[in-house]
Amino acid sequence: MTAGIVNNDVMKLGEVTIIILTILGVSCKQEDSIPLPDNVSIQITRADTIARTLYLSASQPFPGQSGTWTIESNHKRIGAFSNPGEHLTTFIGFPLENYLLRWTITNGETSVYTEISAFLAADWSVQEMVDFGITLTELLEYLDLSEIVSSSLFEVEALLQNGVSPADLYNEGISLTSLIQNGVEVEELLEFGISEMDIAVELVQTIEVKTLIEMGLDPITLIKSGAPAVHVLASGISINTMISSELSLFELADGGISVGTFVEAGFTIQQLRNENIIGSVSDIEGNVYDWVKIGKQLWLKDNIRSTLTDQNKEIQDLALYNDNEEYFETDGYLYNYASCYDACPEGWNVPSIDNLEMLFHNLMSNIKYTSSLTIKEISYYPNRPNNYVDGLSEESRELLSSIRSEVACWGSASNSNSNSLGFTPSGTGYIWGYRDWTYEGRCEGGGFWASNGQAVNIWLNGQEIQIRTTTGEDGDRSQRKSCRCVKE
């Protein structure tokens, strides 16, 4: 028998794409045989996608001949003809299968046939398949995982329950955080060849360090991947363990570990100076200011005492509290906003609100309060819970202790003055007024100017700490407050 392709057409019927491949197969004819038709054709007269049914019409055999429908393709789910021996029939199949259907006419000695490729869901989106009732299990049999994941129709949990490996999901863009949250163990991720560093770099952004360590991630790897060292320290890993893993004191300070913590661990002041964790700087008048590394920022430990800019010009609008020279060394001058801008030593700047929020975040991290905080959220007003954030009483008192020193003036509230963080703010009060200046609040609180004209005020009421920003309006900017400088 010889065979040749007679016709190869593409037909779209409704939502069904049909490829019609007409193949004529011919055997050696004998003169007494009933001649076969020259052409055999198949037409799809209707497609019912809901019923998963094709209505088929093929060339009718001549008298003495017969026809037969067959499925020629390999398939996972079989289809069926309603009348496999009739040229008019229906075919029911699974929409995601690509069936090759054949209609053969024979006279008993020779035969001829044609075939069509029928793929009911050829142009369907994943959403249309799901709407049609095709299950996730069925989709996974027929479609690429990338198509299913990119559709965003299925939860990670469902994909895992249907046997998709965590590694395959990760390769398709599913985050490690999502995999962990859906029950995948760190050990599984490691077994699939995902490196511990890659795991740490992603998870440290969303999951608390203590939890990651409990999951089995190496603490040192967490630090190297960006986890604050102070959080690792809070999880019970000692500084000496970190140092023995080739982490420098500077890197640990970068991760928020405080000067006081280093000293408690046995490191000397000279070692901290050698590692650039503490130091000093002078202004143009020769005033010396100590500085301390708090997280990734360097902060002056002292309020500015300069009357000259770094260009040797006189600074206007500054004063000592009550014009008392005794406060010069402990409190420094109080400046209005514009004069503070001129007062920082060369290379140092008035802090932005972001700088100040990062500062207080590092302070809170050192007392094991590791949430991401804004200045407002650190404030504690127990008597006004409807208007202000409350619930931080214990942590606020710890923060108060950690930033006060015996030298700084904080009045009767100073029952604990560790100054373990080395920041040393003092209750310098402030000066306000237009013609007659009013001096208020020394030993009760103080404020620092920010670069946008706002100020951050720290006030004490008994055992409470209140940290809040001013509005930055002109009336605020004319007040005189402390000037504390930062270097990034």
How many domains is the chain partitioned into structurally? 3
Task: Please check whether residue 230 lies inside any domain of the structure.
Answer: no
Contact 447, 470 (CB under 8 A): yes
Quick one: 148 and 81 in the same domain? no
Task: Give whichever of 18-22, 391-395, 408-412 has the largest mean pLDDT.
Answer: 408-412
Task: Please check whether residue 236 lies inside any domain of the structure.
Answer: no
**CB burial of residue 478 (10 Å; 0-12, 13-18, 19+):** middle
As a whole number, mean pLDDT of residues 405-417 equals 44
- The CA distance from 389 to 380, in Å, is 6
As a whole number, mean pLDDT of residues 207-225 equals 90
Residue-level pLDDT at 236: 82
Task: Please check whether residue 183 lies inside any domain of the structure.
Answer: yes
Contact 428, 304 (CB under 8 A): no
Report the sign of the C-alpha dihedral through residues 120, 125, 129, 131, in that order.
negative
Quick one: 174 and 219 in the same domain? yes
Quick one: 158 and 100 in the same domain? no
Residue where a domain stops, chosen among 61, 94, 119 = 119
Task: Choose between 19 and 374: higher pLDDT.
Answer: 19
Task: Please check whether residue 311 lies inside any domain of the structure.
Answer: yes
- What are the residues whose beta carbons fall under 8 Å from the beta carbon of 373, sequence distance 6 or more? 357, 360, 361, 364
Task: Please check whether residue 244 lies inside any domain of the structure.
Answer: no
Report the Cα 58 to chain-centroid distance in Å.
Answer: 59
Residue-level pLDDT at 333: 95
Closest by CA to 52, choosing from 97, 83, 102, 114, is 97
Task: Please check whether residue 155 lies inside any domain of the structure.
Answer: yes
Quick one: 340 and 212 in the same domain? no
Share of the chain above pLDDT 90, in %: 40
- The CA distance from 61 to 113, in Å, is 11
- The CA distance from 486 to 351, in Å, is 6
Its pTM stands at 0.63
Query: For 50-108, what is each residue's pLDDT tens digit?
Result: 788 899 999 999 998 999 999 998 878 889 999 999 999 999 988 888 899 999 999 98
Quick one: 87 and 135 in the same domain? no
As a whole number, mean pLDDT of residues 313-341 equals 91
Residue-level pLDDT at 459: 67
The amino acid at 350: V
- Total Cβ atoms within 10 A of residue 238: 11
DSSP 3: E
CATH number at residue 81: 2.60.40
Quick one: 313 and 442 in the same domain? yes
Quick one: 360 and 471 in the same domain? yes
Residue where a domain stops, chosen among 209, 224, 239 = 224
Quick one: 107 and 152 in the same domain? no
As a whole number, mean pLDDT of residues 148-164 equals 95
Question: Where residue 184 falls among pLDDT bands split at 50, 70, 90?
Answer: very high
Quick one: 130 and 107 in the same domain? no
Contact 366, 381 (CB under 8 A): no
DSSP 204: T
Closest by CA to 409, choosing from 363, 360, 445, 459, is 445
Contact 441, 427 (CB under 8 A): yes
Contact 249, 277 (CB under 8 A): yes
DSSP string, 85-135: TSSEEEEE--TT-EEEEEEEEE-SS-EEEEEEEEETTTT--HHHHHHHT--
Quick one: 112 and 15 in the same domain? yes
Quick one: 167 and 306 in the same domain? no
Find the domain containing 374 and state its range: 280-487
Task: Please check whether residue 240 lies inside any domain of the structure.
Answer: no
Task: Please check whether residue 478 lies inside any domain of the structure.
Answer: yes
Query: For 42-52, what is each residue's pLDDT tens digit?
Result: 999 988 877 88
Report the sign of the C-alpha dihedral through residues 54, 59, 64, 65, in that order.
negative
Q: Are strands 98-106 and 278-282 parallel, antiparallel or unpaired?
A: unpaired
Contact 213, 189 (CB under 8 A): no
Residue-level pLDDT at 121: 78
Quick one: 349 and 309 in the same domain? yes
- The CA distance from 361 to 467, in Å, is 12
Residue where a domain stops, chosen among 189, 224, 259 = 224
Report the Cα 330 to chain-centroid distance in Å.
Answer: 44
